[in-house]
Amino acid sequence: MDAVKIFKALGNETRLNILLWLKDPKKNFDPQIHLSVMDDFKGGVCVGSIRKTAGLSQSTISGFLSILEEAQLIESRNIGQYTYYRRNEKTLKEISKWIKIELEE
């Protein structure tokens, strides 16, 4: 876990919002019709849905998703012609624990 990379990734309002939206994908995105129940990627959301919610171009959203993925805050999976993203809960728990240990008095 690279705390500096994580904090830099979260330093942009839209990237932070993407991470927050992915916490509750059913509430924040349209149903993921191409993600079948047989695909083992629960909570995955395609780039197009994220773009629609954010109201930005697909290239901008793809760049933001790359930064979040490089910081290991999200993970992706290609299913057919679509790429789906979801939160990386392991990293989120690690950074939460790190903040608690390192920054609390």
* CA atoms in the 13 A half-sphere facing the CB of 83: 12
Task: Examine the pLDDT at 76 and tell me if it is beyond 80.
Answer: yes
Q: Are 47 and 62 in contact (CB under 8 A)?
A: yes
Token pair for 57: 């171009």
pTM: 0.88
The full set of domains in the chain, from first to last, is: 3-103 (1.10.10.10)
Task: Examine the pLDDT at 99 and tell me if it is beyond 70.
Answer: yes
Look at the alpha carbons of 51, 56, 57, 62 in this order and tell me if their dihedral is positive or negative: negative
Q: Tell me: the pLDDT tens digits for 15-70? A: 999 999 999 998 989 877 776 655 677 788 999 999 999 999 999 999 999 999 99
Strand partners, 83: 78
Q: Are 58 and 47 in contact (CB under 8 A)?
A: yes
